[in-house]
Structure formats: C-alpha cells, structure tokens
C-alpha cells in the first residue's frame, strides 16, 4: 500500500504531545512492514536547522483558500524508510507557537488543502490518507466535497484518528466560506455544524472512510455521554467504521538496559539490580526506606484528566500507610501547592518535584516499586506502559488505554501485571493502594511474577501497525 500520514506535529522534528510521538513511530513501523509510507507536516520555524539542512525543496505551488492564493513550498527528507514532506509557508508557520495562534483555523485549513493539492504535483497517489485530530480534519472534508469525484483522486480513502476527543476544532460559522472556501450549505445542513458552531472533528467523523482512536476501550467510551464531549451520538451513529488501536511505545528509547539516566542498568534477567535504582532514587529525593516499604512514583501533567482530585481527597490517608511517595509533575497550580504543602508536613514520606524533567521521570520509572495513574479518562496513556517496562507495577483506574494494558492482580491465579479499580472514587483507589502495599510486604514471589509479566509484554509498535494495516486493507478492498 501507499500510505500518506498527515499530522500537525511529528517527532523528532516538532512535538508538543502524544500525537507527535505516534506520528514519529507509527509510519516507521508501517514502512518496516513493507509499505510505501510518506508523512506530511507543516514546516514550523521551531524545526531546527539540523533537520532543515537535510531537506530538499522538491515542488512549489499556489494553494487556493477561498479568495486567497498562498505560496506552498514542499521540502522532502528521507529517514528510516519513510519520506517526510514539509509544507512551507512563512506567513502561516513562521510563528512562535505550533498551536494557539489567533488564526489556527486558517493555518490548518491551508495545510489540509495543501496536502491534497501537492499529491499530483509530487506524482504520489496514496491508497490511504491517515489524518489526525482537528488540525487535519479538513482533509477528509475537502476530499469528500471537492476531490472525491476527480479521476486522479477517486481511489484514495481517508482514515481519521482521534487522539483526544476534548479538542474538536470549534469555530464561528462565518469562517466556513470566508476562510475554508466551503459553501455555507455544508454548515446549514449540519455536516460542519455542532451546537451552533463549526466542529471539524464531527465533520471528519462523518465523512472519513474509517475512524480510529488510540485504544479499544476509549473507542467504546467516547460513544457515551460521559466521555464523548458531545460527539457521542455522532460516534454511536458511525460505530460501524470506528476502531480502537492501542499506541505502541518506543521500546528502544524506554529500555532499562540501555537507558543512560538509570543509576544501574537492568533487565528482566537482572531484576535484582533494580534495587540499586531504588536506593539511588531515594537518596536523590532525600528519603529513606527499608526493603519492606514500597516506593510509589507519579509522573504526570497536573490536570484533572489525571485523577489528581482523587489523590487530593485521600492524600493524608495515603501518607499514613507505610510507603514513600515520589511525585514529578507540573501544571495546575492548585495541585502544585497541594504537593508542596504536603511535603512540608511529611518530609520523610513524600517528595514532590514540581517541573518537567525527563531524566528524573525515567529515574522514577526505574526506581519505584509502584506507579500511580488514577486517570479520569485516558485515551491511551504511555506512562503505565513505560513503568511496566521498568518493572514497576502500575495502579490505575480502569479507563481507556489503562484498562487495555493493565490487568489487575488475581490472588487466586497469581495472574496480572498491576492493580486497578473501576469507579472514579478516592476510597476505591485508597483501598487498592493498601492492597498493593500489603502484597509488596507479604508476597515477594507474586510480586516478581507480575514484574516479569510487565517487562516481557510486547509494547512495541509492530503489533499496532499490523492492526492499522488491517483497517487500511479493509477500506481499500470494500
Ligand atoms: P499525556 O500524553 O496525557 O500527558 P501519557 O501517559 O500518554 O499522558 O504521556 C505522558 C508522557 O509525558 C510520559 O512519557 C511521562 O513520563 C511524560 N511526563 C509527564 N509529565 C512529566 C514531567 N513533569 N516531567 C517529565 N516527563 C513527564
């Protein structure tokens, strides 16, 4: 197959979050499976010179956006079996920020239109265009309105991937004809409209040939009012073309045997060496603990999505248990102060580092016994997979990707790779923490079996890429 992957950020060139990681890894895994894969992304001024030096200008064209005619340079770079195209227009992309500019709707409309316009110029006729989140939602929209009936384009199929349903691309209605150059009719008939405003994610769900999201459970959850952010009915209606595919992990980057930030490298064959990371982490954080006292780590954005209100509700009860809690995070000041304050009162039990620190994050993954991630919702979640790779057992709420990757300890069979609770309830979480602490103290054998289970699970992209291939083949062959 010929696959074009369109995304508003792609690691390692430009990344603000999970989408960048997926767009960096999935295309390479698809290429490794034998497909011809190209990725397209805007050429932001943030993209460093070391990458620009490797790029070659391969085409120049003008893209029509309503009454505007905008320059569009196309630069190419080849790496790891994938061809990367960068869309160059300094008016739109030579900005300080990747997102959050006053004219984001116009910037990404230009990008989406440019992606469709560049294909014949490059003589690249993909079987599939996989678009992602609201920024590229206009690709299937433009495709269905303006391109699907042109002979050169008619065989192309579009796949639309939702990484987080909270951000839908909502704008005022005046933008439809004036900026997008789309007839108002498509707003008035409800295609582009939701709750009185333009909603690009809704339109892409309606017109893409397939819709995917980043875990099976999240695919179910977003069809309910509690998780669907008002698009649940649209998703229920389109559930026949909706698939959940869990993200993979960059298993080379997160490998306890190679990771330079570890105090001592270890693997599943030398698990006893993990103790030295634990000792190193405790010393680094100014804490002291004997071998029977578990260390619980948390590495997270301080946002409500991550279940911090549960932690807030029972923090004193957690700290009454025989454990050490090490927290790394930043975000909502209310939680930053909550942890600073609690650390002042319990300096021997809690260490909170407020900030973003990739090295300390890996030291927490490597040195902790347990990892707490009680999310309210979690489309996929990487942190729980990273912690399992490092032999650290996750405690999670059963939602989204957490439910699909963490299987709770079964005291009768000994099976499992972590601990979980079902309802978004602080005392349910507290109870599971108590159980985990107890098991750590009393059953080393069961503990080790779960560590081995987590460390030997295949979290690589290969399996997930295969599922994307099945979705692509399904739509091509229908
Ligand atoms: P989300 O993308 O919703 O924040 P994920 O679990 O998918 O959650 O990914 C979060 C990633 O960001 C993990 O790799 C985690 O280690 C990292 N991370 C989050 N907060 C911090 C922080 N304060 N310092 C370092 N790394 C962090």
Q: Whose CA is nearest to atom 13 of ligand 1?
A: 383
Q: Which of 22, 218, 299 to mutate to test the pocket of ligand 1 (most atoms within 8 A of CB)?
A: 299
Q: Whose CA is nearest to atom 26 of ligand 1?
A: 358
3-state secondary structure the chain: CEEEEECCCECCCECCCHHHHHHHHHHHHHHHCCCEEEEEEECCCCCCHHHHCCCEEEEEEEEEECCEEEEEEEEEEEECCEEEEEEECHHHHCCCCCCCCCCHHHHHHHHHHHHHHHHHHHCCCCCEEEEECHHHCHHHHHHHHHHCCCCCCCCCEEEEEECCCCCCCEECCCHHHHCCCCCCHHHHCCCCEECCEEEHHHHHHHHCCEEEECCHHHHHHCCCCCCCCCCHHHHHHCHHHEEECCCCCCCCCCCCCCCCCCCCCCCHHHHHHHHHHHHHHHHHCCCCCCCCCCEEEEEEEECHHHCHHHHHHHHHHHHHCCCEEEEEEEECHHHHHHHHHHHHHCCCCEEEEECCCHHHHHHHHHHCCEEEECCCCCCCCCHHHHHHHCCCEEEEECCHHHHHHCCECCCCCCCCCEEEECCCCHHHHHHHHHHHHHHHHHCHHHHHHHHHHHHHCCCCHHHHHHHHHHHHHHHHCC
Report which protein residue has its CA nearest ligand 1's atom 9.
382
Is the N-terminal amide bond of 306 cis, ω within 30° of 0? no
Q: How far is the CA of 377 from the centre of ligand 1 (A)?
A: 15
Read off the tokens for 104. Answer: 């984001």
Beta-carbon contacts of 425 under 8 Å, excluding residues fewer than 6 positions away, are: 310
Q: How far is the CA of 383 from the centre of ligand 1 (A)?
A: 6
Instruction: Output the pLDDT for position 18.
Output: 84
| Atom number, ligand 1, closest to the C-alpha of residue 330 | 23
Evaluated on CA atoms 16, 140, 142, 179, the torsion sign reads: negative
Q: What is the spatial distance between Cα 206 and Cα 208, in angstroms, rounded to a whole number?
A: 6
What is the reported pLDDT for 252?
87
Locate 214 and state its tokens: 């980043």
Of how many residues is the chain composed? 478
Ligand 1 geometric centre to CA of 290 (Å): 29
State the pLDDT at residue 16.
Answer: 87
Mutate to test the pocket of ligand 1, among 378, 383, 392, 399 (most ligand atoms within 8 A of CB): 383
Instruction: Compute, in angstroms, the gap from residue 247 CA to the centroid of ligand 1.
Output: 14
Contact 214, 243 (CB under 8 A): no
Per-residue confidence (pLDDT) for residue 17, from 0 to 100: 82
CB contact at 8 A, 426 and 317: no
Cα 332 from Cα 334, distance rounded (Å): 5
- The minimum-distance atom of ligand 1 relative to the CA of 306 is 3
Identify the residue whose C-alpha is closest to ligand 1 atom 4.
301
Q: How far is the CA of 235 from the centre of ligand 1 (A)?
A: 28
For 392-402, the pLDDT digits (tens) are 999 999 999 99
CA of 52 to the centre of ligand 1 (A): 28
Token duo for residue 115? 């992606």
**CA–centroid distance, residue 328 to ligand 1 (Å):** 10
Residue 351's CB: how many other CB atoms inside 10 A? 22
Percentage of the chain beyond pLDDT 90 is 97
The per-residue pLDDT for range 29-62, each reduced to its tens digit, is 999 999 999 999 999 999 999 999 999 999 999 9
| Terminal-residue alpha carbon distance, the chain | 15
Report how far apart, in Å, the C-alpha atoms of 406 and of each of 12, 14, 86, 106 are: 28, 30, 37, 41
**Residues near 373 by Cβ (< 8 Å), separated by ≥ 6?**
298, 300, 306, 307, 381, 383, 384, 387, 394, 395, 396, 397, 402
User: What is the crossing angle of helices 358-367 and 274-284, to 10°?
Assistant: 130
CA 380 to ligand 1: nearest atom: 7
pLDDT at position 253 is: 86
Question: Up-side HSE of residue 448: CA atoms within 13 Å toward CB?
Answer: 12
For residue 353, the ligand 1 atom closest to its alpha carbon is 23
- In angstroms, the Cα distances linking 143 to 96, 137, 139, 464 are 30, 10, 6, 27
| pTM of structure | 0.95
Residue 250: the pLDDT is 86
**382 Cα to the center of ligand 1, angstroms:** 7
The rounded Å distance from CA 329 to ligand 1 centre is 8
Distance 448 CA to ligand 1 centre (A): 26
Instruction: Tokens 């942890």: give the residue.
Output: 339
Ligand 1 pocket test, pick from 246, 382, 387 with the greatest ligand atom count within 8 Å of Cβ, gives 382
Residue of 301, 371, 386, 402 to test ligand 1 pocket, by largest number of atoms within 8 Å of CB: 301
Among 121, 34, 44, 55, smallest CA distance to 90 is for: 44
Tell me how far the alpha carbon of residue 6 lies from the centroid of ligand 1, in angstroms: 23
Among the listed residues 20, 403, 382, the one whose alpha carbon sits nearest the alpha carbon of residue 219? 403
Q: Which atom of ligand 1 is closest in space to residue 328's alpha carbon? A: 23
Task: State which ligand 1 atom lies nearest to the alpha carbon of 401.
Answer: 7
- What are the pocket residues of ligand 1 if the criterion is a CB atom closer than 6 Å to any ligand atom? 17-18, 299-301, 328-330, 356-358, 361, 381-383, 386
Q: Could you say which residues of the chain have pLDDT below 50?
A: none
How far, in Å, from the CA of 381 to the mean position of ligand 1?
9
Q: Which atom of ligand 1 is nearest to the CA of 386?
A: 14
307 Cα: distance to centroid of ligand 1 (angstroms): 14
Ligand 1 pocket mutation pick from 23, 361, 373, 377 by most atoms within 8 angstroms of CB? 361
* Ligand 1 center to 16 CA (angstroms): 11
Angle at 111 (CA atoms; ends 106, 114), nearest 5 degrees = 120
């Amino acid at each position: 197959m010929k696959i074009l992957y369109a995304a508003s950020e792609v690691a390692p060139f430009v990344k603000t979050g999970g989408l960048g990681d997926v767009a960096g890894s999935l295309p390479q895994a698809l290429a490794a499976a034998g497909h011809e894969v190209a990725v397209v992304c805007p050429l932001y001024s943030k993209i460093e010179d070391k990458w620009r030096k490797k790029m070659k200008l391969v085409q120049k064209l003008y893209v029509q956006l309503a009454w505007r005619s905008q320059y569009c340079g196309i630069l190419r770079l080849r790496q790891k079996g994938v061809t990367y195209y960068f869309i160059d227009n300094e008016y739109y992309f030579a900005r300080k920020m990747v997102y959050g500019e006053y004219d984001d709707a116009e910037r990404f409309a230009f990008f989406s239109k440019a992606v469709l316009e560049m294909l014949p110029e490059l003589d690249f006729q993909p079987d599939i265009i996989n678009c992602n989140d609201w920024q590229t939602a206009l690709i299937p929209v433009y495709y269905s309105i303006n391109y699907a009936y042109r002979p050169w384009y008619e065989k192309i199929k579009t796949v639309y991937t939702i990484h987080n349903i909270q951000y839908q691309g909502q704008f005022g209605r005046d933008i439809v004809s004036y900026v997008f150059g789309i007839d108002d009719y498509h707003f008035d008939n409800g295609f582009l409209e939701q709750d009185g405003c333009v909603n690009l994610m809704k339109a892409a769900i309606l017109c893409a040939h397939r819709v995917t999201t980043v875990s099976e459970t999240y695919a179910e959850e977003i069809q309910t009012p509690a998780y669907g952010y008002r698009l649940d009915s649209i998703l229920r209606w389109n559930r026949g073309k909706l698939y959940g595919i869990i993200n993979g992990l960059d298993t080379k980057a997160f490998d306890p045997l190679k990771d330079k930030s570890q105090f001592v490298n270890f693997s599943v064959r030398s698990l006893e060496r993990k103790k030295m990371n634990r000792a190193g982490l405790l010393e680094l954080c100014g804490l002291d603990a004997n071998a029977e006292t578990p260390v619980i780590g948390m590495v997270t954005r301080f946002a409500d999505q991550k279940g911090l209100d549960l932690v807030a509700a029972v923090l004193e009860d957690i700290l009454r248990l025989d454990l050490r809690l090490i927290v790394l995070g930043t975000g909502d000041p209310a939680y930053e102060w909550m942890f600073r304050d609690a650390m002042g009162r319990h300096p021997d039990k809690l260490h909170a580092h407020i900030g973003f620190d990739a090295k300390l994050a890996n030291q927490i993954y490597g040195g902790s016994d347990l990892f707490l991630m009680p999310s309210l919702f979690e489309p996929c979640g990487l942190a729980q997979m990273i912690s399992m790779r490092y032999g650290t057992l996750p405690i999670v709420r059963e939602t989204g990707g957490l439910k699909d990757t963490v299987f709770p300890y079964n005291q009768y069979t000994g099976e499992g790779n972590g601990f979980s609770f079902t309802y978004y309830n602080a005392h349910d979480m507290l109870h599971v923490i108590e159980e985990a602490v107890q098991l750590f103290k009393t059953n080393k054998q069961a503990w080790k079996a779960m560590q081995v289970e987590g460390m030997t699970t295949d979290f690589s992209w290969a399996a997930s890429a295969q599922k994307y291939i099945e979705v692509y083949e399904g739509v091509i062959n229908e």
